[in-house]
Amino acid sequence: MNEPLDHYQRELDALQERCLFRTRLTFDGPQSSRLGYEGRELLNFCSNDYLGLADHPRVVRAMQRGAARFGVGAGASHLVNGHRTAHAALEEALSEFVGAERALTFSTGYMANLALAQVFAGRGDLVLEDKLNHASLVDAGLLARADFRRYAHTDVRHARRILNERDSGRTLLMSDAVFSMDGDIVPLDALMEVADEHEALAVFDDAHGFGVLGPNGRGTLARFGTVPKGRTLMMGTLGKALGTFGAFVAGNAVLIDSLIQRARTYMYSTAMPPAIAEATRTALEIAGREDWRRDKLRALIGRFRSGAKDLGLQLIESETPIQPVIVGESGRALKTSRLLMESGILVVAIRPPTVPDGTARLRVALSAEHTEADVDRLLEAMGAASP
Ligand SMILES: Cc1ncc(COP(=O)(O)O)c(C=O)c1O
């Protein structure tokens, strides 16, 4: 009778034994460079709030005003009657910001990625992805019922070889624009060229580049001097640099219309609360205008990298706020993270299956809210905690 429960208990025990058991820490207060935890204050180096907007007073006020005007929930999906002027205004602002014909909001980036693969690939087609893509892109590829292939990380020649083997069906190429656990940037121009050669649609998931990279933070495509147009689509998330919640897809109007007509995660899910759309519009305006946030981030990234190199820590080639320190073995990553916590610093250990076996790491994430002294404190603690 208890057999199913025993099965799950054994699974949990096995995770514990391999140092892969996940625990949630419960924090108090808003996302910020300082976090309240069990009566202490921790210096936080693991949020995606890269620009420090999650608790910005103007963004908070925009959400409060939005709730007063629109209530707290949309009450229906976009295609029934959940679509509000707040969503329309945000889509307009986003498409203008990234230089696309149209933009479409989704409730989460995960859902946006599922939608893209479902609509633009199916049986007999190919979904081609980078080996280190985010889990939501991997799931999207698996759920699309298409042939699902992965090329070695950022290896454009490998991608081309796979494409050369095909002679029928549509191809959808999907890649993180900034790799979420490594912080490196996709070879965007070379991949776009390969996609073009094969008339493939290309989707770049800019969850970690939007707001951070390119002029005014317009994202990774802008950093490469291009915009989402033609067969290239951009997916951006709103819960990271913009500090709010949700996601969008930007690009050609025909492709956006196809998503509205066919994307199941769009059609069969409640629209994002309009107050969030209002808060996001304010966050977008601040993110675009306040270049000092990106300038400060860049300086902090440089400071961290040079200090970490002096300490002999193993870094990845990354110019983004994602600065992982590779530790290798999961138990060791957990132990280092615990030692850091004892000295009041929060950097969580990222372990398999989120990252490949043997590459457990401390994913340091920097924010414009940090100070130089914060980075120095982190380096000092890492120096002391590293075996
Ligand atoms: C690269 C990437 N894509 C998509 C997502 C999913 O976005 P969301 O949190 O909005 O579901 C994330 C992280 O959450 C991510 O890191």
Q: Which tens digits make up the pLDDT trace of 152-175? A: 999 999 999 999 998 888 999 999
The reply to whether 80 falls in a domain is: yes
Q: Give dist(CA 44, CA 32) in Å, integer.
A: 7
**Residue 134 beta carbon below 6 angstroms from any ligand 1 atom:** yes
Residue 227 shares a structural domain with residue 324 = no
| Residues 357-366: tens digit of each pLDDT | 999 999 999 9
**183 Cβ below 6 A of ligand 1:** no
Largest CA distance in the chain: 62
CA proximity to 298, closest of 367, 229, 206: 367
pLDDT band at 386 (very low <50, low <70, confident <90, very high): confident
Residues 237, 207 contacting (CB under 8 angstroms): yes
Q: Note whether 356 and 309 are same-domain residues.
A: yes
Residue 226 — φ and ψ, nearest 5°?
-130, 175
Q: What is the mean pLDDT of residues 264-290?
A: 98
- Report the atom number in ligand 1 closest to the C-alpha of 239: 10
Q: Compute CA distances 23 → 12, 334, 343, whole Å.
A: 12, 11, 20
Distance from the CA of 310 to the center of ligand 1, in angstroms? 32
pLDDT of residue 384: 94
Q: Is the CB of 239 under 6 A from ligand 1?
A: yes
Write the burial class of residue 168 (CB in 10 Å: 0-12 exposed, 13-18 middle, 19+ buried). Answer: exposed
Identify which of 333, 332, 371 has the alpha carbon closest to the alpha carbon of residue 350: 333
Q: How many CB atoms lie within 10 A of CB 344?
A: 14
In which band, very low, low, confident or very high, does the pLDDT at 2 lie, cut at 50, 70 and 90?
confident
Write out the E strands in the chain: 34-37, 40-44, 102-106, 126-130, 147-151, 171-176, 201-205, 232-237, 247-251, 322-328, 345-346, 349-350, 360-365
CA 78–ligand 1 middle distance (angstroms): 21
Instruction: Choose one of 289, 312, 340: the last residue of a domain.
Output: 289
d(CA 352, CA 143): 22
Do 309 and 272 share a domain, yes or no? no
Strands across the sheet with 349-350, in order?
Answer: 322-328, 360-365, 349-350
> d(Cα 53, Cα 59) in Å, to the nearest integer?
7
User: Structural domain tally of the chain?
Assistant: 2
CB burial class (10 A; 0-12, 13-18, 19+) of residue 270? middle
Residues 355 and 264 in one domain: no
- Mutating to test ligand 1, I would choose from 110, 137, 272 the residue with most ligand atoms within 8 A of its C-beta, which is 110
Under the banding of pLDDT at 50, 70 and 90, the label for residue 291 is very high
Domain of residue 304, CATH code: 3.90.1150.10
Q: Are residues 47 and 84 located together in one domain of the fold?
A: no
Compute CA distances 9 → 5, 12, 24, whole Å.
6, 5, 18
Bridge partner list, 270: 77
Q: Which two tokens stand for residue 289?
A: 């205008």
User: Atom 7 (ligand 1): residue with closest C-alpha?
Assistant: 109
Q: Torsions phi, psi of 150, nearest 5?
A: -125, 140
CA 132 to chain centre: 13
Ligand 1 centre distance from Cα of residue 5 (Å): 31
Would residue 124 count as lying in a domain?
Answer: yes
For residue 333, give the nearest of 9, 62, 19 by alpha carbon. Answer: 19
Which residue is closest in CA terms to ligand 1's atom 15?
207
Domain range for 342 is 17-51+291-385
Q: Is 171's C-beta closer than 6 angstroms to any atom of ligand 1?
A: no
Domain end (from 255, 274, 289)? 289
124 CB neighbour count, 10 Å cutoff: 11
Does 270 share its domain with 295? Answer: no
86 lies in the same domain as 220: yes
Distance (Å) from CA 166 to ligand 1 centroid: 30
Answer whether residue 317 is part of any domain. Answer: yes
Q: How much of the chain exceeds pLDDT 70, in percent?
A: 99
Peptide bond into 353 cis (omega under 30): yes
Give 387's pLDDT tier (boundaries 50, 70, 90): low
Tokens 């992982």 identify what position? 324
Asked if residue 26 and residue 63 are part of one domain, the reply reads: no
**For 195-240, how does the pLDDT look when each residue is reduced to its tens digit (9 = 90+)?**
999 999 999 999 999 999 999 999 999 999 999 999 999 999 999 9
Give per-residue pLDDT as tens, 90-111.
999 999 999 999 999 999 999 9
Nearest atom in ligand 1 to 179's CA? 1
State the distance from the centre of ligand 1 to the C-alpha of 2, rounded, in angstroms. 37
Cβ–ligand 1 distance for 247 under 6 Å, the answer: yes
Whether 33 lines ligand 1, by a CB cut-off of 6 Å, is no
Q: Does 147 share its domain with 36?
A: no
- Pocket lining: 108 vs ligand 1, CB cutoff 6 Å: yes
When computed from its CA atoms, the radius of gyration of the chain, rounded to whole angstroms, is 21
Give me 274's structure tokens.
Answer: 């309009």
- The answer on 139 and 43 residing in a single domain is no
Phi, psi of 362 (to 5 degrees): -100, 115
Is the pTM here over 0.95, yes or no? yes
Lowest average pLDDT, out of 15-19, 258-262, 308-312, 319-323, goes to 15-19
Tell whether 45 and 113 lie within a shared domain: no
CA of 255 to the centre of ligand 1 (A): 21
State whether the beta carbon of 180 lies less than 6 angstroms from ligand 1.
yes
Half-sphere exposure in the Cβ direction for 327 (13 Å, CA):
25
Q: Could you tell me the CATH number of the domain that includes residue 81?
A: 3.40.640.10
pLDDT tens, 304-350?
999 999 999 999 999 999 999 999 999 999 999 999 999 999 999 99
How many Å apart are CA 147 and CA 155, to the nearest integer? 19
In a domain, 7, yes or no: no
Same domain, 36 and 109: no
Residues with a known catalytic role: 180, 208, 240
Report yes or no: 108 and 153 within 8 Å, Cβ to Cβ. Answer: no
